[in-house]
Structure 1
Amino acid sequence: MKKLQGIYEYAAQMTAKGKVATYIPALATADPNAFAVSLVSMEDKIVFGECTQLFTLQSVVKVFSFMVAMNHHGIKEIMRYVDVEPTGDSFDSIVRLESHNNKPFNPMINAGAITVASLLPGETMHEKVKSVTLFLEKIIGKKVHIDNEVYLSEYHAADYNRAIAYILQANGFLKSDVEEALQVYLQLCSISVNVEDLAVMALYFATNGKNSAATCSKEVIHIAKALMFTCGMYNASGKFAAFIGLPAKSGVSGAIIAVVKNGTIEHLQGPIGIGIYGPAIDQVGNSVAGIAFLTQLSKEFDLFCL
């Protein structure tokens, strides 16, 4: 454990190099020095930091909503509305929607995630949200709740996302009205979890769903992991893939899930899920301490999946 402890302590110092997200007022109150990590295998777990602290999933939820929508509609139908190509743009970019009059490039950017929110199963906003929360509850084995303060904070600061949604509607890519799609998307971003929940979510991908009651086809899980690898870390995804080499998804709350298909980290062996919470983020939206931890972890324990 000495090596892993050293990596954690080194990464914890990196929080000073980031800042908490302020464009969502409720996220601006997070402690910038907070840093927690959970690693879980099928047999055991390792935790560093305050593992019970709650925070919101933010963009981490995008991969799960996409899976629920894919499972319901089928891959071919979903691909009519959202692609699976990476971009070098920021997660809230509107440029490509305007210049190409095209469907969103992938479901990990806001345009794609809002489109997916409109495609979730259910006739009402509540039913669409519930389709994802139920899926997550089956994965982590407990109830999840929406942080209403964060949701309302995001909703009242959602002008840019609302603009994205109106362009999507004008181009024929929303299957519900703008306000419903936006509210579903923002409620899902506001689901509250802790760092151990994140690790179990990551383990779901590491085991291809074998560790969970949440059913999903192998093809859907494969596509989701491929998207995490190519698009999961905002417009730093290419560097993350090149230098860390793990499927992962981040959120501006400081949350990260990372997937080890088959590795050895101290006494943990086989499929391993990694959950990280470090709200001090960099310019593209990734946890500074989280990136530092995963960089060192991948090198020290030879976790590159390529």
Structure 2
Amino acid sequence: MPTQKIHDQINSRLEDLYRRHREEPEGSVARYYPPEMEDSKDLFAISLCVVDGGGTYQTGDCDHAFPLQSISKVFTYGLALEDNGRDRVLESVGVEPSGDAFNSITFDNRMNRPHNPMVNAGALVTTDLVAGENKDEQLRRILDKLRAYAGNPELEIDESILDPQGQSTDRNRAISYLMRSFGMISDDIEPNLALYGRQCSVHVTAEELSLMAATLANGGVNPRTGKRALDRRYVRDVLSVMHTCGMYDAAGQWAYEVGIPAKSGVSGGILAVVPGKLGLGVFSPGLDDYGNSVRGVRVCREISEDLGLHVFADETEDLLLHAADPEK
């Protein structure tokens, strides 16, 4: 565990990041939110959770809860892998970057499947693949998983955003019915759309998001509770797809500049994972043209550069050692 001196230095660095990036433009807010969402576009939070002991360092609006949105795709994909196995899931959902927007109506025509589970088409299929006798059981199992990752047994769905969010699901509905015509998804289109909407509407804080990331960094075991959230054999699969497909159609740029597995959501959250070391959760609703948090991308980029976290960096520095010696 870090000493008090290192603890203070990490907090100081996060405060500096928060102060500098808070002054930069925040972008825009996802358009399907109700008008009052405009009031939250100045919210900004950074939380870092280390694997060793599950300690968190945070600054900003870390107590503010926001919907996971597309970040939920990560965890449902992991659950689908556990329920069906790698080969079965790969038959239904690929692992290739699409190069298109997350809600594009495009598929891998050669393999007759969505490109990957991080775009809406693939996520709708992985949600459909979650085991359960009915949609209520599927939802319960998804919620239980999310709670295990976050270390919070009281995570809930925010029903208030389902109606305004539901008004914009026509594109997902079109994707689903087209996939059904190709035999990519089951016949339960409307119930599956409702289930998908509910998993996206589960609310977390930035601190909980960083703990969810740290759980993936810790081989699928929540470092705070000690409970396994994902079978170790599938952690590699989840992180690999996050690394290549997790940041919408800016995934290639992210892999080039930041170089760590991550997933964003249009609510303004970014979950980033440094395997064996830490999880990062950033929240800022202002979005860039790709649907990624403007401040979140900048914060993650700076942390990766400063600490040498890029997977292909020449030298990787230990977070705590770097924090202990700012001259490094």
In structure 1, the residue matched to 2:316 is none
Query: 1:13-52 alignment to 2 at 5 Å?
Result: 13-14=23-24, 16-25=25-34, 28-29=37-38, 31-41=40-50, 42-43=52-53, 44-52=55-63
Counterpart pick for 2:309 among 274, 287, 303:
303
Counting matched residue pairs gives: 296
- How much does 1:27 deviate? 8.0
- How much does 1:51 deviate? 1.2
* Partner Cα distance (1:105, 1:241) in 2: 18
In structure 1, the residue matched to 2:141 is 131
In structure 2, the residue matched to 1:77 is 88
2:247, 2:263 within 8 Å by CA — same for their partners in 1?
Answer: yes
Counterpart pick for 1:214 among 213, 228, 231:
228
In structure 1, the residue matched to 2:180 is 169
Query: 1:47-58 alignment to 2 at 5 Å?
Result: 47-58=58-69
In structure 2, the residue matched to 1:267 is none
In structure 1, the residue matched to 2:130 is 120
Cα RMSD after superposing both structures:
1.7
One-letter identity of the residue aligned with 1:222: R
* Partner Cα distance (2:263, 2:106) in 1: 23
* Partner Cα distance (1:116, 1:133) in 2: 15
Query: 1:249-288 alignment to 2 at 5 Å?
Result: 249-262=263-276, 271-288=277-294
* Partner Cα distance (1:172, 1:140) in 2: 35
Provide the TM-score with structure 2 as the length reference. Answer: 0.86
Counterpart pick for 1:8 among 15, 18, 31:
18
- How much does 1:191 deviate? 0.4
- CA shift digits 1:139-174 (9 cap, x unpaired): 222221001011222112211110001011111111
Partner SS state of residue 151, structure 1: helix
Partner SS state of residue 240, structure 1: helix
Provide the TM-score with structure 1 as the length reference. Answer: 0.92
- How much does 1:279 deviate? 0.5
In structure 2, the residue matched to 1:294 is 300
2:77, 2:126 within 8 Å by CA — same for their partners in 1?
Answer: yes
Distance change >3 Å, CA 247–CA 145, structure 1 → 2: same
2:243, 2:260 within 8 Å by CA — same for their partners in 1?
Answer: yes
Bigger shift: residues 61-70 or 139-148: 139-148
1:169, 1:177 within 8 Å by CA — same for their partners in 2?
Answer: no
1:234 equivalent to 2:248? Answer yes
Distance change >3 Å, CA 27–CA 291, structure 1 → 2: farther
One-letter identity of the residue aligned with 2:27: G
Q: Percent identity?
A: 34
1:114, 1:182 within 8 Å by CA — same for their partners in 2?
Answer: yes
One-letter identity of the residue aligned with 2:161: V
* Partner Cα distance (2:26, 2:293) in 1: 10
* Partner Cα distance (1:85, 1:47) in 2: 34
